[in-house]
Structure 1
């Protein structure tokens, strides 16, 4: 059995890590730099194995971009420590598109003649299933592919594929009761938070609705008062109209009574309605009437000429005749006016 510690090396060349996105050129560059060190910084691999290690890790990074090659300090079960290469990251499970396992594959000093050491790391709240056939409580993995490792027929890519298939059939982790409780607490907190947000939003909506209803109530009260005042004015106007109607009815009765008494009397001539007050007023009134009649005749001639009903020569002859008569009437009125004025004074 092996145990491992995961802190990185203190040497900048061996502590370099690669981005999680697939970058084949960067992987080759990192592996070339890590495996080319000599002296105290050299990795404990034989010269013959370095190219194989380079190929295996590059192929693994290409097939599984979530596994990145890096260097770290590994502690054996006997307490010896060594700086080794490892592939660290996650591998997907075949049973779910979102489920994955965190894994570290350490290439020991005798690699590739001996199999790598594989360890699983578990998120908080999970642990290895009791008596799991492939993983011990420390997270060390022992699968048939590792136990029957034969180089050059075995490699890291097939190892990871085998691990994905085996762990998809029998997942190695189990959720602890405290994790279940924490998960329930988190879900409950999420539900409570969602309910609180919903209640807060509903409260704001109801508050705005209540304010709108209060404004509507205020407007309705104001309009009710206006309608009441309008009804009062209409009632007063109705009473006034009824009084005026009664007066009109009374006047109609009076007029009907008068008409009933006087409708058989002979109708007086309109010319006899206006009587001169003295002997000089009659000829003056007659002259004024003749003057106005002549004015009406000339107006009628103008309209007839404008409409084309009267020839021009007839129009001119009639206007001269009427104007002559009007002149005489106006002259007589001018002579009669002073005596009439003296009589009135």
Structure 2
């Protein structure tokens, strides 16, 4: 079977259903279109690259089915080509691709390389650090890597120099140094913006909490003010009642002083009308006779009074009490004006 053309492979890989077990981790149609465009442009300008599909395992343990472009970068002069692998991130092109240098048999990445990790081959250049779509693309990334690796080949160290300034010039060109500085500034700005946004969110959250607490305090203050107004009204009512009671007591005291000493306690009470006065008088007579008969009972018990005298007195008192009762009953049939 003839090998499938790169363009056909890309079309088939990107058109595979998202629910298929071999589906790539790209679901957005606009993302798929950008990937197709950038990858075809890379293959057109650098025919040594070939596309494939593989599983990438992230540091956090997750995995994703991604498109991969493998090939060699032809450097300037007589320097040996540098084989690299470009993984298109699942968030590409918003996230930059992941670039790894693949050491050839018998070659290793030197430890002093400023952009390539010697143990994993992971490549991080200022171009990748300042990646921004649509300004950046895979073709521009390849051209940038050619310039970087032409200045500092990843498989061997540059010749030693007595001047640190000369060594710095050998590691990166002036433009690369400016790119790195720009990347650092952009990252610092991004970090400051993130911290600023976080502080603003915290302040807004704190403002909301303070507003809620202010509303609670306002409701509490209004409730206390209403309660104070009710208490003040109650105090005024009690003060008026106390004044009326004090006036009544003063009047009672004056009447008590003006009362004749002979009247005794009886002078304190006054009948409302003539009928009430007669009823009060007759009732007082009845009760007085009851008290007298009770005293006679005590006297005969103590043998102070003889039986004949007791009977005589009780009869006389009974007749008098009957007169009081009869008179009081007749009052019930008399109409007073």
TM, length-normalised to structure 2? 0.43
Larger radius of gyration: 1
TM, length-normalised to structure 1? 0.42
